[in-house]
Amino acid sequence: MLPRTGTNTASIDVRTALEPNDFPAVPSIIGDISALSKVLKANDRNSRLQVLEKARELVRALETPRETMIKHTWAQNTAFTAISFGVDTGLWKQWVENGSNVPQKVSSLAAQLRLDPAVLGRFLKHISAMGYIIETGPDEYKLTNFTKSLSLPIIADSYPLCLWSINNALANLHGYLRETDFAEPTSATDGNYQHAHHIKADVFTHFQENPPNGPRFNNLMSGYRQGRPSWMDKDFFPVEEKMIDGFDPSGDGVLLVDIGGNVGHDLDEFRRKFPDHPGKLVLQDLERVINQIEHLDEGIVRMPHDFFTENPIKGARAYYLHTVLHDWPDDLCVKILSRVSEAMKPGYSKLLINEQVIPARNAHWEATCLDILMMSLLSSKERTEAEWRNLVEVQTGANLRIVRFWSVGNGVENLIEIEKVL
């Protein structure tokens, strides 16, 4: 039992836990959904997300506290485990190979995968109860778009990776914070993740040293980036005006350096969206990551590089960091930014940081959940606008200045434009 933290004995009636969370709000929410449905289009991301958020709001209002508790502590955890079981055993790939639109018997799938049909049946029954597959008969199910997508590594690999690494760390977080008097974690090598897994390595080294989790992480990052607004789109950041216009082809002639760019997802997107771009595109990451690249256009230069060391590309038009700095506490971010600043040419080079910028109010759950994960895994954080200004312009002390925070208004995709001043 946890120790009592105070002497207040005030309590509420248990019936509160059995009543809807906000029943009076239900008619209004339904009205909002009805109004939004009139302009809803499948290919309109904004209208779809508006209705989706209202639908979540409706569920929260109708659920009782007791139902919400059971959903959080039992239903979602076990669904996560059941889905991961399907990934690890090859269930979802086999199902799609059998026919993605064809109902499948538990007995047939179990025979193909050499599984106990009783075990598989119990997992599938819960996955069906959670709405992720459709029950078409006794011990017979049909895939949904979600479970069809679990045949894709960029969607599927997140499940066993997170079950192994992230969930252990989250379960350990409260005890770790209690041991540190609830201080905000700041050590990249002696934080909660290291205590949870009894290791000294950082998270990424731990992934790479425990196959197949290195490639699984690469797939997770690829899946995370799918379908999100891209700073390369015309309604987001003016690439031609800010990068291509004024490009100087002399010297190394480098247009864009993706620092810590994993296996090149972003540079490949840039190449496709700007096929006539001038200059070179350079991908930088640790050698062990570069060596994992299976498919990348030969026109993209691959360069092993540790971003804590001097950057060999000097005076490029733009240097780019995508979800890199949120992986590190401030002191190490300062080292990364200082190395980039050393390579930048004042008045010409730009630093582009593609990260979350947490608003002062109405933060989005995709940003806030990542913030908790960063604290648990990396002793780092998702930063507010004020924290970004402090980190870039004050702590780094390398003559860097934020020009503008660019966003499409969805709260989770932002580009921070930075220049170096004399």
- CATH classification of the domain holding 100: 1.10.10.10
Distance of CA 148 to CAs 91, 99, 139, 223, 345, Å? Answer: 11, 10, 18, 14, 48
Task: Let me know if residue 41 belongs to a domain.
Answer: yes
Q: Which domain covers residue 168, as residue numbers?
A: 160-223
* SS3 at position 267: helix
The catalytic position among 206, 265, 326, 364 is: 326
Whether 218 and 236 map to the same domain: the answer is: no
What is residue 250's predicted lDDT score, i.e. its pLDDT?
86
Residue pLDDT, tens place only, 277-305: 999 999 999 999 999 998 999 999 999 99
Whether 387 and 415 map to the same domain: the answer is: yes
Whether 30 and 132 map to the same domain: the answer is: no
Q: If we measure between CA atoms, which residue out of 361, 350, 368 comes closest to residue 237?
A: 350
Tokens representing 225 are 């980036």
Whether 318 and 232 map to the same domain: the answer is: yes
- Mean pLDDT value across the chain: 94
Neighbours of 91 (CB within 10 A): 27
Report residue 410's pLDDT band, with 50, 70 and 90 as the boundaries. Answer: low
Report residue 398's pLDDT band, with 50, 70 and 90 as the boundaries. Answer: confident
What is residue 10's predicted lDDT score, i.e. its pLDDT?
65
Alpha helices in 379-417 (DSSP H): 385-389
Q: Which of the listed residues 174, 189, 223 is the one where a domain comes to its end?
A: 223
Whether 336 and 393 map to the same domain: the answer is: yes
Active site residue 277: no
Whether 205 and 261 map to the same domain: the answer is: no
- What is the DSSP pairing of strand 300-304 with strand 280-285? parallel
pTM of this structure: 0.90
What is residue 175's predicted lDDT score, i.e. its pLDDT?
97
DSSP one-letter string for 61-114: HHS-HHHHHHIIIIIHHHHHHHHHHHHHHTHHHHHHHHHTTS-EEHHHHHHHHT
Do the Cβ atoms of 323 and 296 come closer than 8 Å?
A: no
Alpha helices in 274-329 (DSSP H): 287-290
Whether 413 and 306 map to the same domain: the answer is: yes
Whether 206 and 303 map to the same domain: the answer is: no
Whether 205 and 234 map to the same domain: the answer is: no
Residue pLDDT, tens place only, 302-352: 999 999 999 999 999 999 999 999 999 999 999 999 999 999 999 999 999
With vertex at residue 56, the alpha carbon angle to CA 54 and CA 60, rounded to the nearest 5 degrees, is 115
Task: Let me know if residue 5 belongs to a domain.
Answer: no
Total domains present in the chain:
4
Whether 257 and 333 map to the same domain: the answer is: yes
* SS3 at position 418: strand
- Residue 173 makes CB contacts below 8 A (sequence gap 6+) with 192, 196, 375, 376
Task: Let me know if residue 6 belongs to a domain.
Answer: no
Residue pLDDT, tens place only, 350-374: 999 999 999 989 999 999 999 999 9
Whether 176 and 300 map to the same domain: the answer is: no
Average pLDDT of the residues in 32-54 = 92
Task: Let me know if residue 2 belongs to a domain.
Answer: no
